Every structure is written in C-alpha cells, then in structure tokens.
Amino acid sequence: MTQERTLSIIKPDATRRNLIGKIITKFEDGGLKIVAQKKIQLTQKLAEDFYAVHKDRPFYSDLVNFMISGPVVVQVLEGDDAVIRNREIMGATNPAEAADGTIRKEFAESLEANSVHGSDSLDNAKIEIEFFFDKNEIVG
C-alpha cells in the first residue's frame, strides 16, 4: 500500500442539504485523513476548466451549471491507496449502481447530483489538487 493524496469535492446538492459532516465522517471512518479543506463558490470559468475533460459530453453544460448552483467543499484526502479508497467510499457514479454504505448510495439525488467528486487516478489527483490548493494550504 502506498500513501497517496486525492482531491475530493462535496457537491452543491450535498452542501444544500447540510450533509457535509455526514460525508466527511464516511471519509474518516474509511481511513482517509483530511489534510486540506475549504468551502468555496465555483465560478463558471473554474467549473468549466475543472471539468474540461468532459467538454464534448452531452451533459457538460448541465454539469457546469449544477456545480455552480451552490457552494462546494474542496478537500485533499490522504491515506493508503487514497485514490482508489476514496472511489470505493464514494460508490459508483450512478447512485442506482452504487454499493450499500457508499456516499452516493446513501446521499446522491441523481446521476448528475451525486454528492461527491473524486480524482480517478494518481496523475489526475496531482493535477486536481494543484488546481485548488497552494502547497502551504495542505497540512498533513
């Protein structure tokens, strides 16, 4: 097992329903440690840039509008195999397919409003962490 860091976002559907604490508890109970965290309002430009990899997908503009519909919590999670571990704790993208006990199974509203984002690889985790955080904002 390797110590890794990954980027997590608690999405607007979850902040709106006051679920930040319940979601953070899932990460901590799952063995991940929060080493950076801030609640922010994304701008359209930031949301477009963050999800640029999806810009040709039919859901892109809806996704950007959803991500700017309220505040988000961006955080860096650290732990053994943090990238995959976080994805396990989150559950499948579509909540209808997410395993019992996962964040998306318990809290997601829909395929789009699925409560959390998590980096999908270690390379993307590094890029996404740098997108939101300066080095001195991450405190192990």
Give the count of alpha carbons within 13 A of 7, CB side only: 23
Q: What is the DSSP string of 54-79?
A: GTTSTTHHHHHHHHTSS-EEEEEEEE
* Residue (of 69, 3, 67) closest to 35 by Cα position: 3
Q: Is 135 annotated as a binding residue?
A: no
| Closer residue to Mg ion in complex, CB, 104/136 | 104
Does 54 qualify as catalytic in the annotation? no
Cα pseudo-dihedral 15, 19, 25, 30, rounded to 10: -80
* Residue 8 interacts with ligand ADP (CB under 6 A): yes or no: no
Among 106, 120, 122, 126, indicate the residue that binds ligand ADP (CB under 6 A): 120
Binding mask 74-103 for ligand ADP (x = CB under 6 A): -------------------x----------
Contact residues for ligand ADP, defined by CB under 6 A: 54, 59, 63, 93, 111-112, 114, 117, 120
Residues with a catalytic annotation lie at 117
